[in-house]
Amino acid sequence: MKKLNRTEFPFENYPTRIMQFGEGNFLRAFVDWQIDHLNKENDLQAGVAVIRPIDYDTLPLLNTQDGLYTSIIRGIDESGEAVEQIRIIDCINEEIPVYKEFERYMALAESPDIKLIFSNTTEAGIEFIDTDKLSDAPAAAFPAKLTQWLHHRYQHFAGSEESGLIIIPCELIDYNGDKLKEIVLQYCQLWQLEDGFVNWLESANHFCSTLVDRIVTGFPRDEHQALQERFGYLDNFMVTAEYFHLFVIQGPEALKSFLKLDDSSLNIKVVEDIYPYKQRKVAILNGAHTALVPLAYLGGLNTVGETMDDALYARYVEQLMFDEIIPTLDLPEDELQGFANDVIKRFKNPFIHHQLVSIALNSMTKFNTRIVPQLQKYVTQSCKAPKLMAAAIAGQILFYRGVRDGEQIPLSDGEKWLSSFAELWQSYDAQTLSVTDLVQQVLSAEWHWQQDMSQVADLQQQVTELLTLFIRDGVRTTLTTLLERDEV
């Protein structure tokens, strides 16, 4: 069987106009996949130089396949059909291991063609290490490596405005562009770099904060051999991902022109502020996930896909999104509804088997960040607590009893909550604590909620009533009655 490389597969070569820190699955199935689309559909004509930012030899370089690899995109498309899209990505020109070829990495700073830098060095990658030096080859921290490269570029081009770049980190931290710039400026101070360089960083470069959204399931280990036989070539860098993608970039208008987005079908948005989009994702996607887990798991289901195939829980998710979450958000209603419909398709994706107990990890914190803000806004707007969110909280309390159908639930959360729930449910089982008191103690835990949630409208009353019914009649029966009542 032939190998995937540019000798066997003579794809087009593009000039290197983009540098990318990180060679992992996410960037290849998200950023590089989009660059490939823009090259072929919008004539972007942009090749990528990938920098391997960590010193390891466990995995071979992309150079062993001349930068080529196969993307396998699976999910539910706009028409509701399950689809699989196979594509050979050819936009990567080279991978440079910075610890072994530092001079080659620094030489890229002298290229006038490079206009964009992407990165994904994990959340821990955007860090400041005060022992890093400008003379290191290379410095340890990613922002320090970037500062070394930018300083060399500044010197080579004598600080020209035209040599500035658009820098787009994809690490999963809030306002990642602002954080990266802040640390680069820290290195300028640590290394006592010239004022002219700092001014050039500020005036000629754009550090863009981003919101990235795509589930990348990675290397298809269990299918690898069968896929190679199906495609007719060897490929050790295959990557799988869901159909949905969203890339929101808080950046300059010039980025739209560079990427030729005007006629693009890609879900890339260049905006003035990413906050409404972050709020939308956290509230609709993450909030619905978190609300759904305890109710579905206690209803006998194990995966998100199973849950969405269940008419009762599919109806719960839809009503939660459209009736209680969307009214609390600030973007145009059609955008919110479109995103919610996309989320429902993503939850139904038959190619992804997302375990509910995995989503339940540290779910008390998730409830606080993903559901409580929308609950509070709903109360402000309606002067009453939202019933479906109240049901989720009641389900969460029951979930932390730690038992489903006589079997232990593998709970995983902060030790304080685990011990608190254990004591509360022991007291309930010993008949020394009522449901009302149990709910009151959970909701009034100001150390967690940063407020006394038992004082929020009629929330305590609703959660108490629903938890009582969950214990007596079961989650599924109670939820069925709740949803039917809401439709009357």
| DSSP string over 467-484 | HHHHHHH-HHHHHHHHHH
- Predicted TM-score (pTM) of this structure: 0.93
Question: Same domain, yes or no, for 177 and 301?
Answer: no
Residues 6+ apart with CB under 8 A from 295: 313, 316, 391, 392, 395, 475, 479
Question: Which ranges of 216-310 does DSSP label H, i.e. alpha helix?
Answer: 224-231, 253-259, 275-280, 287-298, 304-309
User: CATH number of the domain that 379 lies in?
Assistant: 1.10.1040.10
Domain count, the chain: 2
Rounded distance, CA 366 to CA 285, Å? 12
Same domain? For 20 and 93 the reply is yes
The CA–CA distances, whole Å, from 334 to 56, 322, 331, 428, 471 equal 47, 11, 8, 46, 39
Q: Which residues of the chain have pLDDT under 70?
A: 486-488
| Packing angle of the helix pair 176-190, 195-204 (nearest 10 deg) | 170
**Residue-level pLDDT at 488:** 43
CATH number at residue 245: 3.40.50.720
Residues 291 and 359 in one domain: yes
283 plus 218 within the same structural domain: no
Closest CA to 208 of 165, 256, 251, 144: 251
Task: Dump pLDDT digits (tens) for 230-270.
Answer: 999 999 999 999 999 999 999 999 999 999 999 899 999 99
Q: Give the structural domain span for 281.
A: 275-487
As given in the structure block, the two tokens for residue 121 are 């060095």
Question: Could you give the strand order of the β-sheet that contains 82-89, starting from the edge strand earlier in sequence?
Answer: 82-89, 69-76, 239-242, 216-218
> Does one domain contain both 323 and 175?
no
From 243, 271, 299, give the residue that closes a domain: 271
Last residue of a domain, one of 224, 250, 271: 271
Q: Are residues 436 and 363 in the same domain?
A: yes
Indicate whether 196 and 259 sit together in one domain: yes
**C-alpha–C-alpha distance, residues 211 and 172, integer Å:** 8
Residues 392 and 251 reside in one and the same domain:
no
Distance CA(263)–CA(255), nearest Å, equals 14
Same domain, 285 and 385: yes
End residue of a domain, out of 271, 294, 312: 271
Are both 281 and 225 inside the same structural domain? no
> In 287-399, which ranges are continuous DSSP H helix?
287-298, 304-309, 311-319, 333-347, 356-359, 363-370, 372-382, 387-399
- Clarify whether residues 386 and 462 are in a common domain: yes
What pLDDT, on a 0 to 100 scale, did the predictor assign at position 101? 97
Roughly what angle, to the nearest 10 degrees, separates helices 311-319 and 287-298? 150
Q: For residue 449, report the phi and psi dihedrals to the nearest 5 degrees.
A: -80, -10
Q: Are residues 240 and 108 in the same domain?
A: yes
